[in-house]
Amino acid sequence: MALFEEEMDSNPMVSSLLNKLANYTNLSQGVVEHEEAEDSRRRQAKSPGMGTFIGVYLPCLQNILGVILFLRLTWIVGAAGVLESFLIVSMCCTCTMLTAISMSAIATNGVVPAGGSYYMISRSLGPEFGGAVGLCFYLGTTFAGAMYILGTIEIFLTYISPGAAIVHPEGAGGEAAALLHNMRVYGTCTLALMATVVFVGVKYVNKLALVFLACVVLSILAIYAGVIKTAFDPPDIPVCLLGNRTLSRRGFDVCAKVHTANNGSATTALWGIFCNGSADSTSCDQYFLHNNVTEIQGIPGVASGVLLDNLWSAYADKGAFVEKKGVPSVAVPEEARARGLPYVLTDIMTYFTMLVGIYFPSVTGIMAGSNRSGDLRDAQKSIPTGTILAIVTTSFICILGGPVPGAAPHPPPHAASDLSCIVLFGACIEGVILRDKYVSTLSFLGMSLCFALMFICSWYYALCAMLIAGCIYKYIEYRGAEKEWGDGIRGLSLNAARYALLHVEHGPLHTKNWR
């Protein structure tokens, strides 16, 4: 109800909500007006009057709920386990929450006109910090665009239309290379299409903003509906196991060593793969001979106890077998992993800090509301309320809406680690918020957590991001600002100088201290 509090006294809540949803836009008002500059009358009619729900809550919600939630959260839970996944999500959400609280301290400390986060930070911490954060935020958004394009193409080629692939895998183990080449081709085409749309006019795509938001919300609801459905009626998605090792149905259909044919038994295609096409068991792979072939359900449902089975992590090295816990298996000494066998292998080494770096970009996007500060009717009230409620909502979705653990791993989008450090550095600077000339405790905690997450994700990218921000800071400091804004950093300098002058001893100074 806090989202609609400012409308309670003047407008009927339901009709006002329906009217604003019909005119919902995912872009700031300035972008639309820029493209409609020829229509001055219409531009003047668009006065900044967005409320908390339309102006801050929905844009933040739409920007936070992204491709990583749908593509990578399953893999993170499968690799890190339920408990460590809760820890990863909690750390990242806490980081953004502390940043939002610091941002709220700035927003409620004075008038917030157009300019968004850059205006708030530059007026509070000076143009040097504002410029460093603004440009780092721009770089982070650029990397995020590449990440979302790659995620869209992966969804299209993996789940929607696998037959649309241009480059096909050559032999076993070539799927990852083929997908990478397809991403390059389709990614270039998608980027060209997006550039054309921006050139022609984003206002036409912006009219579909509500449709895009509805698709995201429906997808989230579908996750919850799927979890409920699996409790009563799990889907029939069989997975073939050899011992406790997962097999990819590549080159065979029947998950068995032998099958009945013509009133007798005959070897299957799977036997031919592991035994070089011969019915003689002496030429077979030893692990294949000593272990049974079984078939289990890939999604057993929440009532099957899969949640308890995957409480703990299952990190693995690159090229390790994807194994099912609790299934008996006979080990074979000095086994050579024959190339071409249809085993499902991990395509990347997994560990806790790497998963943090991959997941963190999914909780960014909290600046979507503050960047609309010039379009808000009451920015001081809407930015804190809408941003914090959006973070709470998305955190609830990520924690309770996480997919079934134990999923097979997928290759990450590689831009995620780069993006996380750049975005995190911006968050670090945002965490240093000065209000009434003192650094707040929450801001200091947020800054410390941001720095810790930066180096947890990737220490070398963290150093690169710090170097970039430092260079921008020194450049702006060297060129100087056009006017004085009365920011907190200069206020601290003045306060320190005044303190020192007031405490100078009245007696004669020592000759070494005359300067």
Q: What is the pLDDT of residues 37-51, one digit of tens each?
A: 545 544 454 555 778
pLDDT attached to residue 52: 83
Residues 6+ apart with CB under 8 A from 318: 346, 347, 348, 349
pLDDT attached to residue 415: 46
Closest Cα to residue 357, out of 414, 432, 426? 414
Between the alpha carbon of residue 440 and those of residues 13, 444, 496, 511, the distances in Å are 37, 6, 18, 40
**Least confident range of 37-51, 132-146, 349-363:** 37-51
Complete DSSP assignment for 91-116: HHHHHHHHHHHHHHHHHTTS---TTH
- Most confident range (mean pLDDT) of 32-46, 162-176, 454-468 is 454-468
Longest dimension (CA), the chain: 114
Flag whether pLDDT at 429 surpasses 70: no
Residue reference for tokens 């100078």: 504
- Most confident range (mean pLDDT) of 232-236, 241-245, 324-328, 470-474 is 241-245
Q: Using DSSP, how many helices (H) and how many strands (E) does the chain show?
A: 21, 7
Q: In the structure, what pLDDT confidence band is assigned to residue 13 with cuts at 50, 70 and 90?
A: low
Complete DSSP assignment for 387-451: HHHHHHHHHHHHHHS---SSPPP-PPPTHHHHHHHHHHHHHHHHH--EETTEE-HHHHHHHHHHH
CB 258 within 8 A of CB 267: yes
Q: In the structure, what pLDDT confidence band is assigned to residue 405 with cuts at 50, 70 and 90?
A: very low
pLDDT attached to residue 409: 41
What confidence tens digit (pLDDT) does each residue in 168-193 have? 877 656 777 888 889 889 988 988 88
How is residue 218 written in tokens?
């429906």
367 against 480, higher pLDDT: 367
Average pLDDT of span 16-40: 56
Average pLDDT of span 288-309: 86
Q: In the structure, what pLDDT confidence band is assigned to residue 154 with cuts at 50, 70 and 90?
A: confident
Q: In the structure, what pLDDT confidence band is assigned to residue 408 with cuts at 50, 70 and 90?
A: very low
Q: In the structure, what pLDDT confidence band is assigned to residue 406 with cuts at 50, 70 and 90?
A: very low
Average pLDDT of span 70-87: 89
Flag whether pLDDT at 75 surpasses 90: no
Average pLDDT of span 366-379: 78
Q: Percent of the chain at pLDDT above 90?
A: 5
pLDDT attached to residue 242: 93
Q: How far is CA 493 from the centre of its chain?
A: 38
pTM of whole model > 0.85? no
Average pLDDT of span 143-163: 85
Flag whether pLDDT at 468 surpasses 50: yes
pLDDT attached to residue 106: 77
pLDDT attached to residue 87: 92
Which stretch of DSSP H or E encloses residue 242? strand 238-242
Q: In the structure, what pLDDT confidence band is assigned to residue 410 with cuts at 50, 70 and 90?
A: very low
Flag whether pLDDT at 439 surpasses 50: no
Q: What is the CA radius of gyration of the chain?
A: 28
Between the alpha carbon of residue 463 and those of residues 194, 213, 469, the distances in Å are 32, 36, 10
Evaluate the CA torsion angle 349, 322, 269, 180 in order and state its sign. negative
Flag whether pLDDT at 71 surpasses 60: yes
pLDDT attached to residue 435: 44
Average pLDDT of span 470-485: 78
29 against 487, higher pLDDT: 487
What whole-number distance in Å separates Cα of residue 172 and Cα of residue 252?
13
Q: In the structure, what pLDDT confidence band is assigned to residue 241 with cuts at 50, 70 and 90?
A: very high
Write the DSSP symbol of residue 367.
G
Flag whether pLDDT at 363 surpasses 50: yes
pLDDT attached to residue 293: 93
104 against 269, higher pLDDT: 269
Q: In the structure, what pLDDT confidence band is assigned to residue 483 with cuts at 50, 70 and 90?
A: low
Flag whether pLDDT at 318 surpasses 80: yes
What whole-number distance in Å separates Cα of residue 145 and Cα of residue 416?
11
pLDDT attached to residue 163: 87
Residue type, 514: W
What confidence tens digit (pLDDT) does each residue in 97-120 have? 888 888 887 777 766 766 677 777
How is residue 68 written in tokens?
């990583």
Average model confidence (pLDDT) across the chain? 77
What confidence tens digit (pLDDT) does each residue in 411-426 have? 447 444 455 555 555 5
pLDDT attached to residue 211: 80
Q: In the structure, what pLDDT confidence band is assigned to residue 503 with cuts at 50, 70 and 90?
A: confident
pLDDT attached to residue 294: 93
